[in-house]
Every structure is written in structure tokens, then in C-alpha cells.
A and B are shown apart, each in its own frame.
Chain A
Amino acid sequence: MLAKRIIPCLDVKDGRTVKGINFVNLRDAGDPVELGAAYSRQGADELVFLDITATHEKRKTLAELARHVAAELNIPFTIGGGISSVADVGVLLESGADKVSINSAAVRNPDLINDLSKEFGSQCIVLAIDAKQMEQGWYVHLNGGRIPTELELFAWAREGTERGAGEILFTSMDHDGTKQGFALEATARLSDLLPIPIIASGGAGTMEHFKQVFTTGKADAGLAASIFHFGEIPIPSLKNYLAGQGITMRII
């Protein structure tokens, strides 16, 4: 059986992990490579590095990050944050990234998804979608939920898939940071609708939330940040709990 994936997400700014990180036994938890290696040792199945640096030197810093992570880690990882061109992605994959995630750039220029999947293959293109539930339904938002768009979540996810995305990373802005659980209905609907894997993000607060997202939510992977960074839920405990609940897990 294919295992459900547990994916810690690391926000990186100017080459350092941000968001107060309280990780025991780490010499330098601000070093994304060292933190990533610690997660890998704990049994994380994949990592996502999201670069939130806003400078024109970005392409270079992202490539350096990819190279350092790829040199040290032996599990797959995705890099995202401001990626907007075929050239950006080429540099990252050449540097050792397994996948890239694209978000706002794909909304502004949907052909980017076609161009990237044609050039590099769907398997390395993760379409990240941030959405909020409005009166008329779920709508895609940009810039961390600050800018609403006219795009309806399910229509956009389907279009992105048809254009060649290999995975959907769905974040519910309504659930993100609440620790009250994932957006189960929307996640399940995406999973039923699309032939590609769905990574659910936003709202993880307890181990049971992960169980729900893998069962009711039909997600292929669960992503979280702070609950892992602050050690609130150690990955080995989470995976043992889920395995005990009958969910297929890679236990190391």
C-alpha cells in the first residue's frame, strides 16, 4: 500500500528558517538544512521549503538553498516561493530540487503550468492553491490570503490539473493557523474530483486532525508547520498513532 505522507513545511527568509522555532537538540534550528535533516531523521516523508524573501537576488538564493538541501538530505523536497518562469524552475531542478511549487504566478499566467510540465514533466510541478470559503463558495486568494481572485477553487484546481500540474497543495486560509483541523470537505472534494495527489494544508492542531484528513478528507499527504516546529506533535508519535489507526505509514 502506498503510504500517506507527512510533510513539514519550512518558511525560509534570507537563508534562515523563520517563525519561532523551538526544536530541541539542534545546534542551529535557524539553518533550514539542519532543521530539514532533523525532520528527515524523525521520519518526515518529504519537506517543503517556502522562500519568503522578497529581493531580486531571489533566484540565486533559492538555487543555493536547493543545492544545500539536496547535498545533505536523502528524502524528496519541494521548493516554492515566487517562482515565475521556466528558467527559475530549470535552475532549481538542476540544483537538486525534486519538485517546485507555483502559486500566484500560475494564477497570473496559467500557461506557465503547461510550459513547466512540458519542459520538466508533471511529476515535479506542484500547484499551490490558497483558498477561502466565501458566500458563493471557495475562492482562490493570493499573497497569503490577502488578495481575493475571481477564481473558484475547484474549477482552478481542475484547470491546473488539465494544464499539467502533478500535485495540488491546497491550503484553506480559513483553517490555517487555527489548529482546529483541516478543511475536510473541500479536501475530499478535490481528491474525488482530480486524478492527481492532494496535499492538505492549514489547520493541523492534533494527531486526530491528521487521521481525519487522511480518512474523511481523502488526502494523500498532510502538511503542517508550527506544530512540528514547536515540537507539539513529534513526527514519530504522529506516525505511530496514525499507523495504529489503520492508516498506512512509513515507520522508520
Chain B
Amino acid sequence: MKDIVIIQYNAGNVRSVLFALERMGVHATLTGDHDRIRQADKVIFPGVGEASSTMAYLRRHGLDEVIRSLTQPVLGVCLGMQLLCTHSEENDTECLGIIPQKVKRFVPKNQSEHKVPHMGWNAIHREPGSFLPESVEGEYVYFVHSYYAEQGPYTAATCNYIEPFSAAMQKDNFVATQFHPEKSGPVGARILEQFVKG
């Protein structure tokens, strides 16, 4: 049985990730303890919240250094993905800098068509070599976000809302999704299952 740790910090939706893993028979430990995180086989870095206050919390608790030092597979989710990048326009926040990419705010071109946040189900398209299972190509997954990572060399899947953006990213041992796999029905469950069991 693999030791799965979910990083505990001042973020929402942690319960949903725990429940999603339990549904696939996987027990995960929710902890902010540095050693427990470093020793885990796999680490999940979830997140719903605001970038600057979350980064401040991570720094205050030394978790920024812990996350940067991880060499095992790490899955960032939503804000967790954005914080892996270098910088976010959300309150001009310096992020972890693990994935060299910037996070920008959605600018609607037409208000009745382009609501912000980008909230709901949208289709994703895998890039070649993506960590995402091939079976999720073109499938709909659940997004809730007002900021997005641009497309770049570390994009693992794209989604189109106002313009194309990174729906998933990967670099070395870090993989991440902008959408919420824990809320994305059977498609999301496949993605989580591949990460924790693969």
C-alpha cells in the first residue's frame, strides 16, 4: 500500500480529495508535518483559495521549501497547480517557481458570454507525452478558477476558455491539473486513480 499524503494548509476542498481517494479504496494522510510529507510515496497539493495569502501561509510554515525539495510524484490541483508556477497576477504573488510559467487573470471579451470565474465543465485535450490517461482526451472535467496558466513547454493538456490555457502541466516529478479531478465524475476518478495507484 502506497503512502499518500495530502498537504494540509489553509485551503478548502481538502475533504473532497480525501473522499475521492476513499471511494477508490485509498487511504491518504492529511498533514502539514515536513517529515511526513518528505517521506510519502506520493504527495497531493490541493487548493481552493487566494494565491498571496496561501503563499504567505506556506512560507510561514516552511512548506514552500518542503514542496520545492520533493522528488517523489507530486500532484497539484487548481490553486495547487498555479502555485507551482513562477508568478500569479492574483495580488501580484511570487509563487513556488517549480514550473517556469506565469499565471494570469481571465479578461472577458464579451460579458454575457465570458463569465469569470470560468466555472463548470469544459473539454480538455492532451499534449503528446502527457501524464493524463489517453482515455481522457476530449472529455469534460470540472473547472472553477479566475486565473489561468498560459500555454507553454510544460503544458500537459489544454482547454479553451476565452483563449487556450494550460488545463494540466507537468515538469519532472511534478504533475498538476487546473481542473478538479475529485469533482470531475468518472473521468476525474480515472485521473486520480492513475496518480495514486500508477
Among the stretches B148-156, B167-175, B177-185, the one at the interface with A is B177-185
Tell me the smallest distance from the CB of B93 to a CB of chain A, in Å.
15
Report the bound CA distance from A241 to B111 in whole Å.
Answer: 27
Report the bound CA distance from A94 to B13 in whole Å.
Answer: 7
Is the C-beta of B160 less than 8 angstroms from some C-beta in chain A?
Answer: yes
A74–B183 CB distance below 8 A: yes
Report the bound CA distance from A4 to B113 in whole Å.
Answer: 11
Question: Which residues of chain A are within 8 angstroms of B182 by Cβ–Cβ distance?
Answer: 74
Question: Which residues of chain B are within 8 angstroms of A196 by Cβ–Cβ distance?
Answer: 115-117
**Chain A positions 211-241 with a Cβ under 8 Å from a chain B Cβ:** 218, 220-221
Among the stretches B37-45, B67-75, B97-105, B118-126, the one at the interface with A is B118-126
State how many residues of chain A have any CB contact under 8 Å with chain B: 37
Tell me the smallest distance from the CB of A236 to a CB of chain B, in Å.
14
Is the C-beta of A250 less than 8 angstroms from some C-beta in chain B?
Answer: yes
B19–A71 CB distance below 8 A: yes
A74–B120 CB distance below 8 A: no
Is the C-beta of A51 less than 8 angstroms from some C-beta in chain B?
Answer: no
B111–A74 CB distance below 8 A: no
Report the bound CA distance from A166 to B144 in whole Å.
Answer: 10
Q: Which residue of B lies closest to A188 (CB)?
A: B112
Question: Which residues of chain A are within 8 angstroms of B81 by Cβ–Cβ distance?
Answer: none
Question: Which residues of chain B are within 8 angstroms of A188 by Cβ–Cβ distance?
Answer: 112
Tell me the smallest distance from the CB of A133 to a CB of chain B, in Å.
21
A123–B120 CB distance below 8 A: no
B22–A71 CB distance below 8 A: yes
Is the C-beta of B62 less than 8 angstroms from some C-beta in chain A?
Answer: no
Is the C-beta of A207 less than 8 angstroms from some C-beta in chain B?
Answer: no
Q: Which residue of B lies closest to A71 (CB)?
A: B19
Report the bound CA distance from A94 to B122 in whole Å.
Answer: 26
Report the bound CA distance from A118 to B100 in whole Å.
Answer: 29
Most buried by A among B23, B111, B120: B120
Is the C-beta of A172 less than 8 angstroms from some C-beta in chain B?
Answer: no
User: Could you jot down 13 A-B contacts, CB within 8 Å?
Assistant: A3-B122, A3-B123, A5-B121, A70-B15, A72-B23, A74-B184, A74-B189, A98-B183, A122-B117, A124-B12, A167-B119, A192-B112, A250-B121
